[in-house]
Amino acid sequence: MWTWFYKLASPPYVYGVAAALRLWLFGAAALAMGYGLIAGLAIAPPDYQQGDAFRMIYVHVPGAILSLTVYTVMAAASAVALIWRIKVGHAVAAASAPIGASFAILALVTGSLWGKPMWGTYWAWDPRLTSELILLFLYVGVMSLRSAFEDPLRGDRAAALLAVVGVVNVPIVHFSVVWWNSLHQGATIVRIGAPKMPGSMLWPLLSMWLGFMLFFGAVLCMRLQAEVLNRERQASWVREAIKS
C-alpha cells in the first residue's frame, strides 16, 4: 500500500497520471453536467413555492459543496506535503486553490441572484452565504500568502500551514455564523434552501454535483500538470516531456 503512496510522490508519475485522466474526466463531467442542466433547467417542474427561481439550486448548491470539498482537498494535500515533505502535495494545493475560490465566487454570485426573487434584495446576510464569503476570504488568504514569498518553497510551506489551520476553522466559522444568524432572525423569512425534492428535481441536482466534482478533477489535472512542470523545470524528465 505504501508503494502506491510513494509512487504518487514522484512528480513525473503524477504528471503522467494527470495527463492520462484529463480527457476522461472532462468527458464524464460534460455528460453529467449536460444531463443535470437539461433535466434541471428544462425538464424538472417548477417548485410550487419558489417557481422557476429554485432552478438556481442546480448551480448554487453544487458550487457551494465543491468550494468546501476543494478546500478540504487543498488542506489534505498541504498536510501531506508538510508532514512527509512530499512536494507534489504543494503542487496539488497550489493547483486547487484558484479552482476552489472560483467555486466559492460562483456560489456567492448564484446565491445573490437567487436572493433577488426570494428576498427582494441581492444580499441579506444569510448564514450560509456569509460563511461562504468567509471561506472565500480564507482562499484569498492562502493564495496571497503563497504568492508573497520570493522563495517558492517557503511560500508553499507557509500557504500549506495556513490551509491546514483554515480547515480546522471552517466548521467553527460555519457554526458561529449559523448561531449568529439564529439570534438575528428577522429579515430573511424564506431561506435559500432545497425545496422538498421529488425524484425529478433530485436526480439532476446529484448529477450536477457529480459533474462539478468531475470538472474539478479535470481542471485539477490540467493545472497540476502545469504546476508540476513549473516546479520541476530543472529536472531532465521535464525536457523530455516538453519535447513530446
What are the residues facing 145 on neighbouring strands? none
Asked if 141 touches other proteins (CB under 8 A), the answer is yes
Report if residue 175 touches other proteins, rule: CB under 8 A: yes
- Give yes or no for residue 149 binding other proteins (CB under 8 A): yes
Regarding 168 and contact with other proteins (CB under 8 A), the answer is yes
Q: For residue 40, give Cα distances in angstroms to 193, 198, 210.
A: 16, 12, 14
Of the residues 88, 101, 162, 167, which one makes contact with other proteins according to CB under 8 A: 162
- Cα gap 187→237, rounded to integer Å: 59
Count of residues that interact with other proteins, criterion CB under 8 A: 34
Q: Contacts with other proteins in 29-68 (CB under 8 A)?
A: none
Minimum CB separation of residue 160 from other proteins in Å reads 9
121 near other proteins, judged by CB under 8 A: no
Nearer residue to other proteins within complex by CB, 81 or 218: 81
Binding status of residue 23 toward other proteins by CB under 8 A: no
Count CA atoms within 13 Å of residue 178 on its CB side: 8
237 touches other proteins by CB under 8 A: no
Amino acid in position 212: F
Binding interface with other proteins (CB under 8 A): 82, 134, 137-138, 140-141, 144-145, 148-154, 157-158, 161-162, 164-166, 168-169, 172-173, 175-177, 179-180, 183, 233-234
